[in-house]
Chain A
Amino acid sequence: MKPHILFILLLWILLPLLFSSCSPTIPSDAEESSLPLHIYPDYTSVTLPYNIAPLNFKIEHPADEYLTVLRGEKKGEIVLDGKSVRIGLRKWRAFLAENRGASYRVEVYLRSGAKWRKLIPARNYVSDDPVDEYLSYRLIEPGYVHFNKLSIRQRNLTDFTESDVFNNEIYAPGGKKACINCHAYQNYRTSSMQFHAREIHGGTLIVNNGKVRKVNLKTGDLISGGVYPAWHPQKNLIAYSVNETGQVFHSRDSQKVEVQDLASDLILYDVEQNQVRYISNRKDQLETFPAWSPDGKTLYYASAHYVPEQENVSMDIILNYKKVRYNLYKRTFDAERQTFGEQELVFDAAALGKSATLPRVSPDGQFLLFTLGAYGNFHIWHKSSDLCLMYLEKGWVTELERANSNDVESYHSWSSNGRWVVYSSRRDDGSYTRPYLIHFDNEGRTGKPFVLPQEDPDFYGRFLKSFNIPEFTVEPVATPMIDFVSAMHNDPVEAKLQ
C-alpha cells in the first residue's frame, strides 16, 4: 500500500479516537463547597420528560475554569467543560433513556487559581411520562397597540428545531402586515386547526380535511368575529367568544396596561355547515374563554356579571375595572342535537374577591386548571395572577404553589397525556413572557417548573419577544405556508348566523 494512503487511513482511524479521549477529567481533589449551585436557566430540582431537548444552561459563579458532570442515578455520565454548558443531543437522549424514571445529579466544579471546588449538586428527575413532541406559540413583543412582525412558530420539543406555521411577512401586500393570533388545534392534531388574521385581508383561516379556507365570522349582529377559539374534541365545531375589547394605560402602576372586554358573548361555529349560532349572549354577562371537556359533553367558560352604571360603557368599565370579576361556568352539550344546557356555576371567584379565567380541563377529565387574578380577564398583564387547580369530582380548589411565582402566571395548556402543562410566565423580568413546563401526576401533584430549553443558554436574556398562547400538538403542522398565503389572498367565505 502506498505510504500516503496508509497515512490517511491511519489518520482516519486515529483522529476520532484522539478526540473522543479528549473529554475533560473530573478533578479528584476538589474541595466540597457549601455553595449551592446557581445556573441559568434554573434547571435544578426539576422534573423533566425523558424525551425533552437538552437542558443547556450557564453557570452563574465566577471562576477560572468550569466542569459539569451529569451523573445518572441508574447509569451514565456526561462530562462537559465551560461556563456555558451545551449538551450534545445524541448523548443527552441516550442519557435520559438510561435514567428514565429515575434521576440524575448535576455536579459543577469550579477552579479558582489551582484549587477546584465542587458545589452542592442539584438533582433532576427524569419522568417516565413523555411530553408531546411539538409546541406552538406566537412570538410577539410585549407591546401595546402597534404590531409589526408576527409569527406563529412550532418547536420540536425533543430537539431545538423550530419553524414557522405562519408569519405575517410572507404575505404583506403593499408592505401592510396582518395581525395573526389565536392559533388552536383540534385534540392536539394539526389536520384541523385555525388562526385569525385581521387588519389586512382579514378573516379566520381554518384548516379542515386538508384544505384551508378563510371565513368571516362576523355576521349578523355579532359584536365581532370569533376571538378565543375552542375546537370540539370530536366534532367539527368551534366555540368562540366574540369580544369588544379595549385597552387602557396606567399612569403609575408598573403593570402598565389594562385590557378589558366592554362586551362579550359565546358562539358556536359549525365548520362544515359554515353556520354560527349563539351559545350565550346575555347583556348582563361578559362571557369569554370557552373550553371543552375532553369528552366534548361540557363547555366551560369564564363570565362576569356586569351592568354598566353609566351610559358610556367604556368610561364605566375603566372607572370600575377592579370590580369586574369573572367566575367559571359550564354548560352541558348534546353533540347530536348541538344544544346546550343551562349555565351552571363551577367556581365563584368573585365571592373570594378574585377573578378566574382560562378554564382548561385535563385530558383525563379529573382536573380543571385555570388562572386566578385579582380582577379582570386579561391576566397576562396582572402580576397577581396564578395558576389554580380544581379537582372536578370533589370541587376542591388549590393554588399550584410550585407553578406560581411573584409575577404573572397565565395561559396554560395540558399535554395530550395530561402529565405536562405548559404555561406562560413573566417571572424572569416581569415583562417578557416565557413558556414554562411542569409535570403533573395523576393526583394533582406537580414537579418544579422549568423554562422551555433553548440551544443557547443565554437565549432568554437576549430575546425580546414574548411566547404567546403555548399549545401542545402531537404532530407538526403539515399545511404548507403557501396554502395559508393563498387562502389569505382570497375573499373570505361569509358565515351565516342561525
Chain B
Amino acid sequence: MSIKEKIPANLLFFGFVLLTAGGYRAELFERLAELSLFLPDRRFWAEHLLIPGDLLRYAGAWLTQFFYHPWLGAALLAILLTGIQLLMYQAFPPKGLFRNGYVLSFVPSLLLLFQILQLDYVIFYENRAELLFSQPLGLLGALGIFCIVDRIRRNTHRPGIRFGVSTAPLLLYSLLGFYALLPTLLLWIREWKEPERVSGKLQIAAAAGMVLIPLLFFFCYERLSVFRIYTAGTHALYQFQGSWRLWWAYPALFGWLLLSVALLSRSGPIQHSSRRSVEKTQRHAPLLRSLLNILLLAVCCVALFFGPQQNPNFYRLLKVQRALQAENYDVILQQTTVEKPDRILWLYRNLALWKKNRLCEELFNYPLDLPSPTNTIMPVRIIGPDLYAHYGQVNHAYRWLMENSVLNGVKAEYLREMLKMSVLNGESALAVKYYNILRRTLFYGKQAEQYREYLLRPERVAENATLQSIREYRPDKDILGEESSYVEPFLLRSFWNIPDGSFQTLELKMSAVLLLKKGELFREVLEVYRKNNMALPRYVQEAALLFLSVDPEFDIESLRIAEPIVRRYNEFVNVMQNHRPEEGALSAKLRKHFGDTYWCYFTTVQNVAVI
C-alpha cells in the first residue's frame, strides 16, 4: 500500500485516540496521572533501576504526568500507539490473503488501548498507571529493535553474524526486560522460516541465550523475583485482580505478534518494485483498499469504545471525586442522581446532601439496598480518604492514604492528601516533607502551593473555610479502637462523637439513628430539633410517625407533621396490615409504592451498613 492509502487510516486512529483519551475518557487518564508520580531526582531514577525493564516504568511515569493536561497526554499516547502501528507494519508486512490488510497492523495498538479503556475501580488497587505508557514503550522498543536488527540480518549472509545480530537484543535485557527477549524470540522464529536459515546449532544457541542471559542477570539484581525473570518489565498476570477482561489483552497481544511473524507476514519490508507493479495492474484497488481498511478500523474503534463492559458508575465516581475536590456539591448530586447507582455513589450523594443541609430531607429518596460495585475488593481504599476527611476523621483518612501508599507506591494524589491531613493535624514538619516532595513534580506543585501559607503560619488554617469545617467535625475526644476498614459502620458510629452544636451535626446524628434503625435513640436527637425550634426534615417526620405514634407518652400532634406524610403513613400501615401472601412478597410491594419512605427502608432493608 502507498503512503496515500495509509494516511487516512492513521489519521482516523490518531484522532480516535486523541478524542478518547483527551475527551470522552479524559477523567480516567487524568486520574491515572494523579495515581502516578514522577520526580526528577537521582533517588527516583535509582528506584527505577532495581529490576530489568524498570527503565520503561521510569519513562512511563515521566509521560503519564502529562495527562495532567488531558489533550497533551492524549497526543503523546496517540503518537506512541501510532508509532507502534507503523513499526508493526514495517516489521510484519502482511502477505497472501492478508496483503491488503493494513488494518492488521493496528491490532497491537488497539489491544493496548482496549486494555486501558477497560480500567475501572482496579486503578485504585493496582499500579495500573504504570502500564499506561510503560507497556506501549516496551512494545515500541521491541518492534523498533526488531526492525533494525531484521534489516541488518537480511543484508548479511554469514550465519555467524546473522546469529550474533539476532541475539544482540538480549544485551538490552537490563534496560527493557521482557521487551528485549521479545525481538530475539520473533527474530528466531523468522530465521526459522528463512529458506537459508542459520544452522540448527546456532538456532539452539540462540534459544539457549534467551533462557540463560536473563538467568545470569538474576544474580546481578537484588530485587528481581525468581518468578519474574522472563517477564520483568511487564505487569505480571497474577498482579491483575478482578475479571479476565482486565488482563487478557496482554497475552492476546503477545499471541498476535507470534502469529504475525509465523504466519501472517512475509519476511522483510515491502520491495519498491513490487509496489509499483501492483499499482500498475490495479489502478482502482488503492482506493478500495484504503476504504476497506478505514472501514474495518472504524468498526474496531467503535467496538472498542462501545463494546467492552464499562461500568458508567466508575466514570461518575471519577467526576464525583473531582467535584468533591472542588467542593462542587451540585455536580456530585447531579452525577449521583442516576437510575442504577451503586453504594459508593450513594455515600458521596449523602455527603453532598449533608453539605447542602438536605441530608435528612432527601436521604431515602434513592434506590434501596444498593450493592457495592464489582471489582471493589476493599471499598475503603477508594472512598475512605475522601469520606473520612470530610467527616472530620482526619486520622483515619491519613491511615488509608498511607495504606494506599504502601500497597500502590507513593502517588501524587496521596502526597497531596497526606499533606492536607498533616496540616489539619497540626503536624507541620510532616506536612513540610510532603510539600517539598510534591513541589518537585512538574504539575502538582501548584496543588502543594495552596498549603504553603499554612506551613508557615499554622494558625491560618482557621481562616480557610474548607479546612476549618473539617477540623470542626473532628472528634472532640480521642477514642481508641475503632476499626475503619468498613466505611459505613465506622462513619455511622463516629457521628455520635462529633461535638454538638450546629444543624449539620444534628443531621449526621439523626442520619445515623435512621440508617441504623436506632429507634431507642431517636427521641433524644429529636428533642434537640425541638429545643432549637428547627424545622423537622421530611425523614425525621416519617421516623417520628414510625417510632413515636404508638408511644402513649409522646404527643405526636405537637410535632405538626405534614399532612401528606401522615396520609401516606396511614396508607403504608394499611398495606402492611392487609397484605395477603398470595399477592407476592410484601417487600416488593412496599418498595414499589413506598420505596422513597423511611418506613420502607426500616421494614425491608436488612443490611444497613455494607461497605
Q: Which residues of A contact B (CB under 8 A)?
A: 141-148, 163-164, 167, 169-175, 248-254, 256, 258, 315, 318, 321, 428-432, 456, 458-459, 461-464, 481-482, 485
Contacts and interface: CB of A to CB of B under 8 A. Distances in A.
B480 A321 contact: yes
Given A254-B427, A464-B410, A170 B225 contact: yes
A142 to B, nearest CB: 7
A303 to B, nearest CB: 23
A310 to B, nearest CB: 14
Chief secondary structure at chain A's binding surface: loop
Interface string B479-499: 111111000000000100100
Interface in B433-481: 433, 436-437, 474-481
17 contacts: A144-B399, A144-B402, A145-B403, A148-B407, A167-B222, A167-B223, A170-B226, A248-B482, A249-B399, A249-B484, A251-B497, A252-B474, A252-B475, A254-B426, A256-B399, A429-B430, A456-B42
A175 B41 CA distance: 29
Contacts of B436: 461-462
Given A318-B481, A428-B429, 7 more contacts: A175-B238, A249-B484, A252-B478, A429-B432, A430-B429, A456-B43, A458-B41
A251 B223 CA distance: 37
Contacts of A431: 427, 430, 433
B306 interface: no
Contact of A251 (B43, B405, B426, B494): B494
A250 B402 contact: no
A349 B392 CA distance: 37
Nearest to A463: B43
A382 to B, nearest CB: 13
Contacts of B478: 250-253
A442 B256 CA distance: 72
A175 B227 CA distance: 8
Given A148-B407, A249-B399, A254-B426, A481 B222 contact: yes
Q: 8 tightest A-B contacts by CB?
A: A252-B478, A429-B429, A318-B481, A164-B222, A251-B479, A248-B481, A143-B406, A175-B238
A262 B482 CA distance: 17
A430 B398 CA distance: 14
B533 interface: no
Contacts of B483: 248-249
Contacts of B475: 251-252
Contact of A252 (B399, B410, B479): B479
B54 to A, nearest CB: 12
B395 interface: yes
Contacts of B41: 458, 462
B437 A251 contact: no
Nearest to B408: A148
Contacts of A456: 42-43
B166 interface: no
Contacts of A256: 395, 398-399
Interface centre among A250, A251, A458, A461 (most CB of B within 10 A): A251
B425 A254 contact: yes
A256 B422 CA distance: 12
B274 interface: no
A249 B480 contact: yes
Contacts of A318: 480-481
A175 B393 CA distance: 33
B19 interface: no
